Structure 1
Amino acid sequence: MITSKTRLVGLLGHPVQHSQSPIMHNAAFAEKQLNFAYAAFDVEPDRLADAIAGIRALGLRGVNVTIPHKVAIMPLLDEIDPLAKRIGAVNTVVNDNGRLIGYNTDGMGYVRSLVEETKLDVQKQVVTLLGAGGAARAVAFTLAEQGVKEIRIINRSRDRAALLAEHLGEIVPTSVVEPGDASSAIADATLLINTTSIGMFPHVDEIPVPVEWLHPGLIVSDLIYNPLETKLLKQARLIGAKPHSGVGMFVNQGALAFELWTGEPAPSETMRNIVLQQLQKTN
Structure 2
Amino acid sequence: MMKLYGVIGDPIAQSMSPIMHNEEFKQLKVDAHYQPFHIIHQDLKTAVEGMKAIGIEGFNVTAPHKTTIMPFLDGIDPLAQAIGAVNTVVRESGGFWGYNTDGYGFIEALQTAWKEDLSNERVLIIGAGGAARAIYYSLLARDVVNVDICNRSVANAEKMIAECPYNGVSKALTLDDAEERLANYTLIIQTTSIGMYPDISDSPMSMENLSVDTFVSDIIYNPFETAILKEAKKRGAHTQNGLGMFIHQGALAFEKWTNMKPDVDRMTKIVTKQLGGELC
The normalised TM-score by structure 1 is: 0.94
- Which of 240, 244, 247 does residue 244 from structure 1 map onto? 240
8 Å Cα contact 2:125-2:191 kept in structure 1: yes
1:100 equivalent to 2:96? Answer: yes
Q: Give 1:166 deviation, angstroms.
A: 0.8
Question: 2: CA distance between counterparts of 1:170 and 1:269?
Answer: 32
Equivalent pairs, count:
279
Aligned to 1:91: 87
| 1:193 correspondence with 2:189 | yes
- Change in Cα spacing, 1:101 to 1:149, as seen in structure 2 (3 Å) is closer
Distance in structure 2 (CA, Å) of the matches to 1:48 and 1:159: 31
Among 253, 257, 263, the residue aligned to 1:261: 257
- Residues 132-281 of structure 1 mapped to structure 2, 5 A cutoff: 132-168=128-164, 170-280=166-276
Aligned mates of 1:198, 1:179 — CA distance in 2: 13
Q: CA deviation at 1:170?
A: 4.7
Moved over 3 A (4+): none
2:6 corresponds to 1:7: no
Contact 2:137-2:166 at 8 Å conserved across structures: no
Q: Which amino acid is the alignment partner of residue 275 of structure 2?
A: L
State the TM-score, normalizing by the size of structure 2.
0.95
Q: 1:14 to 1:160 in 2, by over 3 A?
A: same
Map Cα deviations across residues 244-281 of structure 1 (whole Å, 9 max, x no partner).
Answer: 11111100000000011111111212111101111225
Unaligned stretches of 5+ in structure 1?
none
Distance 1:61 1:217 in 2: 44
Partner Cα distance (1:249, 1:242) in 2: 16
When the two chains are superposed, the root-mean-square deviation of aligned CA atoms in Å is: 1.7
Decide which of 48, 54, 61 is 1:65's aligned counterpart: 61
CA distance in 2, matches of 1:109, 1:85: 17
| % identical aligned pairs | 43
Counterparts of 2:116 and 2:184, CA distance in 1:
16
Q: Distance in 2 between matches of 1:23 and 1:273?
A: 11
